Structure 1
Amino acid sequence: MVPNRLISNNIRLWKKFILIYVIVTIIPIIVLEYFLSDSIKSIAFKSSLELSKVSVEQLDENLTNKLKVYYDMADGLSNDLQFTKYLNTEYTSPYEALNDFNLFVKPLMSMLNYKNSEALIRVYTKNSTIGFSGITNHSMDDLAKEGWADLSNPGGGTIKWAGAGNSINLSNKEYLGNYRFLFSDTSEYKPNSVLAVFFRKDELYSIISKEVEGGKKIFISDAAGNLVLSTEHEKKYVNLNEVPFEEEYRKDSKEYSFARYDGSDYIMLRKQIDHPSININHWSIVYMIPAGAVHSSIQQIRMTSVVLSVLCIVFSFLLTMLLSRNITGRISKLLRKISNVKRGNFTISDEAEGTDEISILDNSFNEMIERIDTLIHEVYEAEIRVTKEKLKNSIIETRAREAEIHTLQSQINPHYLFNTLESIRMKLLTKGDRESSDIIGMFGETFRLALSNHNDIYKLSDELRFVESFFLIQKYRYGDRINYEKDVPSDVLNVYIPKLILQPLVENAIYHGIERKAAGGTVTVRARIADGKLVIKITDNGAGMDEDELNLLRETIHKSNQADTPRGYSGIALRNIHTRLSLLFGDQYGLVIHSGKGIGTEVVVSLPVTDAS
């Protein structure tokens, strides 16, 4: 006995799988987790920082859009000629002032949607003749007493912002606002009036209210550092320099810095706001993110990566066990088969699935056993074939008997009927009724064609002659309402087909298609040889069928017996033709029907190309 050179040859197969799994999967995952930890932290931090930058940009946009509404309101009022004319007019009577107020100021307020706005508009003026309304009844002395406007620098009519740092208190409420000096004489630049638009400070708090929920701190200040808006408004900071940021420093980045505020660590972002179009220049946003929240997010991401790693290990372990069980299980089955053969049992319980080496080995073993059991299987399969053949012959015999009974019922002494029809035709001809005589003659001819040839097949040309005779008879009934067209090449006319398969289809096209259409229509017969088959298409442009009717008809022609045909539905002739063709030539031949409501119907007949033999 030759000793094994490798220790692995003495280890069970499933243990080898476990060893490979530990070496290939678990060790690499642990190593990657260890070395990628810092990278995960860096990526998570950068992701949080980028999201914060987006929030700052959105905050800038929201603030600007909000302030622009009130800037446009002040700009629109101060540039309105009628409004400024009203302010600069010295009225002789209150009635004239009231009349101009109703004519010019009120419509302007409506246009600005003043009543539905949160804005508070005031005009401080030296013109005492207009001081009766809630808007214009404030004097320049009142403005000086309120003290929120810089009266020393009119600024050439520029709209300025007010209320940063110390809010404007009106009616015991905090306001921010903008104002513009209005001049009656621009050459001297001495203001005659001041237009002010105030808005509640609470409106701006709604912009940053959601940020407070995450523990973030936000400070928005003007160019002088005066606080316009802050999440710390309850602490009454007036200027940004008053906010006690401790130990602010940067760490390898100009985009952010670290600061300590109110006993907590924050990551600080600064952004300068410049929007000259609404006179906002060198304002700034200080956006502070709790460092603990960022670290918590990083820790959560790291925990997620650890959980995913564990899940990968568990999943791969289960997959390895499943693969191991699959391989060892199939090998065990093969060993049991070998044991059964040793005991003389040559029955194969199952076949191997797959194309791997084990399956090939199992299938080769099965083939070896099947050689012994071949005779039993051949006999069994032969019996099945005989049974199927008997069943098919039984169906053909049944159809033949049905056709024979139908033929016996329909044949009422053909020669007697021919002679009677001829006598009627000659009688009508003698009386001068040539039209009726011709109809009887054509009917006799079609009847003779149907019964004179005792064979089951004849040429396509014979079938077409029979169809044309039948159509001429229908022409006498319908007149110009029906037309017949034929598109059959000469090389197809000599192909042999089963007898009387086209005439019922043409008859159906007339009765169920053309007759139901008030304007009439055309029946077209086309025949071609394609892919070794004779394909005949009977098409009409009559009433057609909808989807439900078409499906019912298709179901009808595939019924196995007449009892299955839906009551009152005309599909028996089509079913008989389809059954005859399928039984004679195989299931690949028969009828296919296409139709559309209001478009027409097409019946496609497929046959093998046969000769007289």
Structure 2
Amino acid sequence: MKMMQNLRPFRWNDLRLRNKLMILYFAAVFIPVMLTNTFFYTITAGNVRTEKVQDLRQSLERNKDNFRKMLEGVISFSSVIYNDGVLYSALDRTYASESEVIAAYGEVLNNSINRFVPLNKQFYNAYLFTDNDSLIHSGLLQFIDLQTKQEGWYQATTDQARSRKWLLYTNTPTATCRQTGATAASLAASEETGAGAGSAECGAPYLSVIRELDFYKAYSSYHKILRVDILPHYLENTLFDHSFPGEIYLLNPQGDVIYSSEAEPPAFIHEEAQRGKTIIASAFEGVDYLKGWEMVGIYPNEVVNQSLLDSRKFIIYLTCANLLFPSIIILLIARSLNLRLGMLLGGIKRVKNQRFEMLKAKPASDEIGQLTEEFNRMTQQINGLIQDVYVAELDRRQAQFNALLSQINPHYLFNTLDAIRMNCVIKGEEETASVIKLLGRGFRRSLSWGEDMIPLQEEMAFVTDYLDIQHFRFGHRLSYQLDIDEEVLELPLPKMSILPLVENACIHGIEYSEQPGSITVSAKLHSTRVVIRVSDNGIGMEEEKLRHWLARLEQSGVQHQQGKHVGLKNVYDRLKWHFGSEFSFSLDSRYGEGTTIELQMPAAFAKDEFIGERRIVDVENVDR
């Protein structure tokens, strides 16, 4: 159960890219190509095998035609003899002496038979069988005795059940062999060929065309039979074909092998298929006298399969080509994807370990190339930002160090001012002692580090101390008036936001005026906004100078925060940064009449958070 819980469901996104590409290759290329070519080979092999078997069958049909034509020639010869009336008359005549027989033999019998036999003496032998005992039975004339009547061919010829006038008979090797002799021409042929008729008959099965000579009913005194024996070598010459790729057998209706291209024909021909051979059997259809006869061709499977080798080689080459080219292309694409994605993944892992190194890859326009380019750009930007942050942090720490260092020197200044103030008190110079006290308090407030935001009430304390010091300086030439609503006393604003404006009014407005000067500072709550005004009746500014200052306030950059009147620009930038678009600033000045600066900012502020921050600041500002 626990094992089943630990099993995660299969998700494609969990596979590595290499495995996905392998699956894609096998599913989209290898398996379809193999299946397609296997199917194609199966169909092609079947067609080629069928075509090859058809070719073999046609070759077998040609042998069948040759055998049929040979038989037709022999049957045609027997038909000529069958219709020879002169021969009928000579055979049906009873002779009184041997001289008459010899004369009839020389004039009729010899001419009737031998006019055909010499032309075909190497093919077949012809015999006339009769029960006319007045004839001399030798050579082509044979007597129908008791032994002849017991032979199979004679019994088959006299069978009343046969439908044809002639008979195609098979003489098997088990038949009784007897030397019957031959005609003179036949004997000569036997001597020339080195084999007599009898030896040919007894050595192998042979065919005979037999027919009774009963065409002329007027010559029916004696029984007359014509037998034409087809010599085995004639049948072999007819059926033997050097180009035939297998074994060929001629079977009679009883299944006996009449002709075989092999020296020892198999006992069971149709069982040769079980020994890895192909058998094609073709019957003599449409030929009445060959009904039941069959010609069989036996071919080794190599003969049939040999024609498949070329097709098999072609399929193999085609399969290799179909696999090779897509495999090479997919391999190159997969290698490009895998290497570049692996390099990109390695770069991301180095970024994870805070090693912001750019990837060294050739430029590419595809998605991975664009991703690599963006990664290098991001890495470069991060390096730049880190460098900027590092420098800024160094500057911040240096500023903190300088601030801490600056807090050390004022302690010496504060102690010195206290010593002078005490000396003035001892000497009775109360006014000077009071000014020194105000100056020391102002220094202490301005140099307190970490206190950025202060309430308006504290800022006004700065202003009051500064105006008291300036009143000590100018005497009756300077007077000031503060008009602050109680609702805005806790308004937080950046430290030193109003004092620089009052300072500019004293230095640039009142100091150069010959008449007594007056400075008014007011802070009023109008609905949701606080309006702070600092006005004086000093010398003011000309219109061109006023436009210059208004344009300068809208500009940014460190170069615009240097030189004269830097306090006004500093106040504007800090309030703009803090309050954003909700802050507004206006400057109105008339030459010889004075200057008025108006600040507007939102009245809403987080009082509780500000009080908490003040407590932290108060703890940090404890004098050491």
Task: Tell me the TM-score normalized by structure 1.
Answer: 0.38
Please say which structure displays the higher CA radius of gyration.
Answer: 2
Q: Structure with the greater relative contact order (CA < 8 A, sep ≥ 6): 1 or 2? A: 2
Task: Tell me the TM-score normalized by structure 2.
Answer: 0.38
